[in-house]
Structure 1
Amino acid sequence: MAHGSGKLGPMVRLFAFLTRRSELSHEEFLDHWLNVHGPLIAGTPELARHIRRYEQHPRAEAGPMSGSEHCDGVTVQHFDSADDLWAFTAEPAYAELIAPDEAALLDLQRLVWVITGEPTVVIGDGTSTGGVGGDVAGA
C-alpha cells in the first residue's frame, strides 16, 4: 500500500477485499489466512501495537449468492489514526513477515482496499429507520 500524506482524523478503518492466489483453493486460503496470517500479525507485538481491532470475515459460502466470484473474504483493521496505519506498514517486521505472506496468499493485482473514517449508521445501534415502520423490534 502506498503511504498517504493527509491525516484522516480520528479512528480509521482499512477494509480490504481479498482474492486468493490462483494456485490456492478457497479452503487452503482460509486455513492460511485464519490460522497463520492473522496470528502472525497478532503475535508480533511491534505490529499489533498499531492496531486497535483486527477482523477477518471469510466468505460465507461458495457460489454466486454469497458475493462477487473472486472475493474470498474481507479484512477490517481499526486504527486510532491514519498515522498509526502508516506506522504499521512502515515497521521492519511488516516488510520482513507480513508483505511476503500477503504476496504468497493474495492475488495482489485484484486486491481492493479503502480507508474509511467513522461510519454513518443508518440502521442499528439505537437509531430509528425514520421511515415507514419506524424501529425494527428485536433487530
Structure 2
Amino acid sequence: MSSSGLSVWSDPVDSRQLDAEESPVLKISIFLTRRADLTHEEFVEYWTDKHLPLIASVVDASVPVRRHVLLMPTGDEIPGLTGIYYDGVVEVWFDTMADATRWFTSDTFTTTVAADEENFLDRAKTRFLYATETPISG
C-alpha cells in the first residue's frame, strides 16, 4: 500500500455525529473492476501508489468531498451467504447530490482523475450505489 496513506480528500466525518437537523450525507459507493490484463495485485498497486497520489495532487478546498474511503476485499466468505466480488470499492461522501454532480462532472475529474482510471479500471464494469445512512446501532 501507499506510504502516502489512504485519507486523500478530507478529515473523516462520522455521520452519526451530524446534528439531527442536518441533512443526511450522500454516500456514493463505487464498485471497481480491474482491467482484464492486470492481476488484482497490480490493480491494488496502481490504485494506491499512483492513482491516490494523483487525486491528492488535484484536490483542494473547492472539492466538495466530506470523506473518501477505500475498501479492499478480504476474500473471506461466510458459508451459505453468497458474496459479490469487486477488486475494490470507493466510498465518497458529499453533502448534496449537487456537490457530487459538481465533482464528477468537473474538468479536473474528467480530464485528470477519470482519464487516469483507464490505466487500471475496466470502467464499463464500474457500478455506483447512491445512498444515505440510517444508523441502527453503534
TM-score by length of 2: 0.71
Partner of residue 26, structure 2: 12
Partner of residue 91, structure 1: 106
TM-score by length of 1: 0.70
Partner of residue 77, structure 2: 65
* Distance change in 2, residues 1:44/1:94 (3 Å): same
Cα distance, 1:47 vs. partner?
8.1
SS of match in other structure, 1:104? coil
Q: How many residues align?
A: 112
Please say if residues 47 and 91 of structure 1, whose CA atoms lie closer than 8 Å, have aligned partners that are also in contact: no
Residues 56-112 of structure 1, C-alpha deviations (whole Å, 9 max, x = no match): 111124xx738434x111100011111111111122111211111122221122212
Partner of residue 79, structure 1: 94
Unaligned 5+ segments in structure 1 are 1-8, 125-139
Partner of residue 109, structure 1: 124
The CA distance in 2 between the partners of 1:89 and 1:54, in whole Å, is 14
Q: Does 1:34 align with 2:48?
A: yes
- In angstroms, what is the RMSD of aligned CA positions? 2.2
Unaligned 5+ segments in structure 2 are 1-22
* Distance change in 2, residues 1:54/1:99 (3 Å): same
Which runs of at least 4 in structure 1 moved beyond 4 Å after TM superposition? none
Larger radius of gyration: 1
